[in-house]
Copies of this chain bind each other. A is one copy, B any other.
Amino acid sequence: MTTYFPEVKKPIRYEGPDSRNPLAFKWYKADRKVGGKTMAQHLKFAVAYWHTFKGTGADPFGGPVYDRPWDVGATPLEVAHNTLDAAFEFITKLGAPYYCFHDRDIAPEGDTINETNRNLDDIVKRAKRKQRETGVKLLWGTACLFAHPRYTHGAASNPDPHVFAMAASQVKRALEATVELGGTGYVFWGGREGYISLLNTNMKQEREQIAALFHLAVDHAKKIGFKGMFFVEPKAKEPSNHQYDFDAAHTLNFLREFGLMDRFMLNIEANHATLATHSFEHELVTAAGAGKLGSLDINRGEEGVGWDTDNFAMDARSCTLAMSIILAQRGLRYGGLNFDAKVRRGSFDTIDLFYAHVAGMDAFARGLLVAQKLKDDGVLDQIVRDRYAGWRRGMGRKILQGKTTLTQLETWAARQGEPAKVSGRQEMIEGILNDYLYATKID
């Protein structure tokens, strides 16, 4: 069988923190135990089919630049077969346990819905076999409801119900493919479910249309026995000027409004947080606070840049805080850490894909180690607990229990006089966090 990555002869190995080999792990060691679970169990890394195998390097100012050896074939389906082979070779050599796909990444759209469905069926069959052979698993599937010209004005939110129906057909099949391949999640990312101009848009109705699609998907999931979770992936903007799932809170508002909280969780992406002017942690905590942190798209935006750059995440602080939030909720049952990241346009070579994923896996592995240490030591947790101690007793408790009135509170306040000014100790806490982040004794 053809090898697409001859420069990586064997699976990437763990060589430890002192290695300077960019094709080795310094921190990620699949079977290393951290807080009772292995790293592989904690870090459900998934390779993103679209960026890693279907990415072309194109951007708004230039077309495709990569010459991928798998991007060849007499027919679109043959190209898809080669791409599938390359994908499983890469994932296996990398040692990532999962992958994620859009329907159109893995199988080409045909001239008719029937042909499209046949293409998908063909690939799903092959992928299933590949999964069995390699042990690689599907984390989640999704439908690409933004690339085709018909979705220019939206998919579910399109002014034309005919387009909605086309989208519905894709969701149906992508969901069935996800079930067939054992995926534990199904994602909705509404790239064009938003508007370019409010002047020609009925926003209220468009949101109702999207809710209708979600309900249809839930119904279908029940019918076909999908036991996994639905995820919505918020993004503030791009390509639309406003996307209805702007951020975690917008999405929660939507799910609450349309009675969808039961079957949906959120898939939080770091760079999408940035586009909403939030930190990644903010979005993660928002989702987790509502019991809805389902999965993560791990990447990073460029500082000061206003579009989605999808760089590989490498920042110690950010990776550590993300893992802390995940540890605090005891893991991600349905989701994982999906590499929704792409190598730069100028990283032309297939080997660059390895450099990027290896460094990214290491960044989160180190983040996990520090997060576990923070958890074990409990220093930061304790500081926060102590800070709010007043709410677990006396009047604080009564307030939260709804057992008081403004009148009682005024009397209580008047009796006590001016509250003490208590430092929030932010700089001390940041210093402590740094001590952990750059400690010499992690390994």
Tell me whether A316 and B438 are in contact (CB under 8 A). Answer: yes
- Residue A152 at the B interface, CB < 8 A? yes
How many angstroms between the C-alpha atoms of A146 and B304 in the bound complex? 22
Q: What 0/1 readout, one digit per residue, does chain A (173-206) give for beta carbons within 8 Å of chain B?
A: 1000000000000000001100011111111110
How many angstroms between the C-alpha atoms of A230 and B286 in the bound complex? 25
In the complex, 20 of the A-B residue pairs with CB atoms within 8 angstroms, ordered by the A residue number, are: A18-B440, A63-B149, A112-B414, A162-B413, A169-B414, A173-B410, A200-B384, A201-B384, A203-B286, A209-B400, A215-B402, A241-B302, A249-B249, A252-B257, A257-B290, A314-B430, A314-B431, A344-B424, A348-B422, A366-B438
How many angstroms between the C-alpha atoms of A161 and B427 in the bound complex? 24
Q: Which residues of B contact A113 (CB under 8 A)?
A: 410, 413-414
Q: What 0/1 readout, one digit per residue, does chain A (14-58) give for beta carbons within 8 Å of chain B?
A: 000111101000100000000000000000000000000000011
Residues 389-430 (chain A) with a chain B CB within 8 angstroms: 390-391, 394-396, 399-400, 402, 404-407, 409-410, 412-414, 416-430
How many angstroms between the C-alpha atoms of A347 and B381 in the bound complex? 19
Nearest Cβ in chain B — how far from A222, in angstroms? 11
Tell me whether A435 and B348 are in contact (CB under 8 A). Answer: no
Tell me whether A239 and B62 are in contact (CB under 8 A). Answer: yes
Q: Which residues of B contact A400 (CB under 8 A)?
A: 205, 208-209, 212
- Residue A376 at the B interface, CB < 8 A? no
Given A277-B236, A363-B434, A166–B419 Cβ distance below 8 Å? yes
- Residue A437 at the B interface, CB < 8 A? yes
Tell me whether A191 and B61 are in contact (CB under 8 A). Answer: yes
How many angstroms between the C-alpha atoms of A291 and B67 in the bound complex? 41
How many angstroms between the C-alpha atoms of A172 and B410 in the bound complex? 8
Given A316-B438, A431-B362, A209–B391 Cβ distance below 8 Å? yes
- Residue A3 at the B interface, CB < 8 A? no
- Residue A126 at the B interface, CB < 8 A? no
Q: Which residues of B contact A250 (CB under 8 A)?
A: 249-250, 253
How many angstroms between the C-alpha atoms of A216 and B400 in the bound complex? 11
- Residue A95 at the B interface, CB < 8 A? no
With beta carbons under 8 angstroms apart, the residue of B18, B308, B406 that contacts A216 is B406
Tell me whether B61 and A220 are in contact (CB under 8 A). Answer: no
With beta carbons under 8 angstroms apart, the residue of B164, B246, B314, B362 that contacts A249 is B246
Q: What 0/1 readout, one digit per residue, does chain A (358-369) give for beta carbons within 8 Å of chain B?
A: 110011001000
Q: Which residues of B contact A355 (CB under 8 A)?
A: 425, 427-428, 431
**Which interface class (under 10, 10 to 19, 20 to 34, 35 or more) fits A?**
35 or more
Residues 274-292 (chain A) with a chain B CB within 8 angstroms: 274-279, 281-282, 285-286, 289-290
Nearest Cβ in chain B — how far from A424, in angstroms? 4
- Residue A219 at the B interface, CB < 8 A? yes
Nearest Cβ in chain B — how far from A399, in angstroms? 5
Given A431-B362, A434-B314, A388–B202 Cβ distance below 8 Å? yes
Given A160-B390, A427-B352, A207–B289 Cβ distance below 8 Å? yes
Q: What 0/1 readout, one digit per residue, does chain A (294-306) give for beta carbons within 8 Å of chain B?
A: 0000000011111
How many angstroms between the C-alpha atoms of A348 and B425 in the bound complex? 8
How many angstroms between the C-alpha atoms of A102 and B275 in the bound complex? 32
Nearest Cβ in chain B — how far from A432, in angstroms? 6
Tell me whether B282 and A162 are in contact (CB under 8 A). Answer: no
Nearest Cβ in chain B — how far from A443, in angstroms? 6
Tell me whether A306 and B303 are in contact (CB under 8 A). Answer: no
Question: Ordered nearest first, which 8 A-B pairs have the shortest CB separation?
Answer: A306-B306, A359-B431, A161-B396, A253-B253, A356-B427, A277-B304, A168-B409, A165-B413
Tell me whether A303 and B279 are in contact (CB under 8 A). Answer: yes
Q: Which residues of B contact A276 (CB under 8 A)?
A: 277
Tell me whether A161 and B391 are in contact (CB under 8 A). Answer: yes
Tell me whether B152 and A57 are in contact (CB under 8 A). Answer: yes
Tell me whether B406 and A171 are in contact (CB under 8 A). Answer: yes
Nearest Cβ in chain B — how far from A18, in angstroms? 6
- Residue A242 at the B interface, CB < 8 A? yes
Q: What 0/1 readout, one digit per residue, does chain A (140-165) give for beta carbons within 8 Å of chain B?
A: 00000011111111000001111111
